[in-house]
Amino acid sequence: MDTHSILSRLPELLLPWYREHHRQLPWREDREPYHIWLSEIMLQQTRVEAVKGYYARFLKELPTVWDLAACDDDTAHKLWEGLGYYSRVRNLKKAAGILVEQWDGQFPRRYEDVLRLPGIGEYTAGAICSIAFNLNTPAVDGNVLRIYARLTGDDTPIDLPAMKKRAARDLKAVYPAEAGDFTQALIELGATVCGPNRKPDCGICPCREVCLGYRQGRAEALPVKSPKKQRRQEDKTVFILRCEGRYALEKRPDQGLLAGLWQFPNVPGKLDIGSALTAVEDMGLRPKGLRREVHRKHIFTHIQWNMKGIYLEVAEAGGEFRWLTPEQIDAQTALPTAFRQFWEEERDV
């Protein structure tokens, strides 16, 4: 069977299976574009179970695009705290502003217009347009690429742009009238039966009869990925500075990694205690006593931070910092995970 013959069978095989076996997820309860958009952005690089609580809390506080556009950055960051990749929520706010200003708070119904919104790439635009508006727009992510590679026996590395382009083109050619359900069915199959980082459950797969990977005994070996590049290593010394029950925080720059988020003061390199005390004095503070040291690491996509946390009591709440109580930190600030792990260590003492 050629690729088109295989893929053309998918609607008849996948749609009945999806309607009987799909998971009940809160963002599948309606076809509201705002809900689909929010869930797809949250689900990037994040497990479904982890997203459920964030999704409910976010919509409770910001139930409409208008509410999202009007909220301040700290509120949005706090609602996103712990999900990581904070550029996602900044782009959500930017896109919401555009939707309010240019589209009266409604999503445009053309794929090209949705794709122009900040933070929305081809996958997310395809998901919104097909699920919300039943348009013939495939949503091709890693899950769908895995299915495509196994079904067609294609050993082209799935991280190559040409592979993604080919899969989107071939799937678009077989999309049924029930476009939204078909997109969801592909996503569901790739998240469950034909899931990542484990042996595929070919015995219960609705597409087994047309799958070349299964018939050739190669399903588990597919898809192929290009070799990973080594992450850049960066050392940091993080200061958890306390004065009379309050702690020093500062905001990161508005551009770059973790832009605009709160952090504990930090400097490059892993400093010994003498150098660390000097660094604190250079911040305009007087160290009173070392409380403890903690070593942690945090992994981003392309960078690994190797971090040394130094907990110090200081004589006065000075310097160019905001000094907050534990209650204020918990309620008002969005600490990215890289720094929150040091705060959790402090709260556990």
Segment 66-108, tens digit of pLDDT: 999 999 999 999 999 988 888 999 999 999 999 999 999 999 9
Find the mean pLDDT for residues 141-168.
Answer: 95
Give yes or no for residue 349 having a pLDDT over 80: no
Q: What residues does each domain of the chain span?
A: 3-221, 232-348
Q: What amino acid is encoded at 158 in this protein? A: I
SS3 for the chain is CCHHHHHCCHHHHHHHHHHHHCCCCHHHCCCCHHHHHHHHHHHCCCCHHHHHHHHHHHHHHCCCHHHHHHCCHHHHHHHHCCCCCCHHHHHHHHHHHHHHHHHCCCCCCCHHHHHCCCCCCHHHHHHHHHHHHCCCCCCCCHHHHHHHHHHHCCCCCCCCHHHHHHHHHHHHCCCCCCHHHHHHHHHHHHHCCCCCCCCCCHHHCCCHHHCHHHHCCCHHHCCCCCCCCCCEEEEEEEEEEEECCEEEEEECCCCCCCCCCEECCEEECCCCHHHHHHHHHHCCCCEEEEEEEEEEEEECCCEEEEEEEEEEEECCCCCCCEEECHHHHHHHCCCCHHHHHHHHHHHHC
Give the mean pLDDT of 191-218: 94
pLDDT at 177: 96
Q: What is the CATH number of domain 3-221?
A: 1.10.340.30
Class of domain 232-348: alpha beta
Asked if 106 contacts 99 with a C-beta cutoff of 8 angstroms, the reply is yes
Please name the residue that has the structure tokens 């929520």. 89
Catalytic residues: 40
Band of residue 1 on the pLDDT scale cut at 50, 70, 90:
confident
pLDDT tens, residue by residue, 117-135:
999 999 999 999 999 999 9
Percentage of the chain beyond pLDDT 90 is 90
119: left (phi over 0), alpha (psi -120 to 50) or beta: left
Please state the rounded mean pLDDT for residues 274-302.
Answer: 94
pLDDT tens string 13-71:
999 999 999 999 999 999 999 999 999 999 998 899 999 999 999 999 999 999 999 99
**223-254: per-residue pLDDT in tens?**
999 988 889 999 999 999 999 999 999 999 98
| pTM as predicted | 0.83
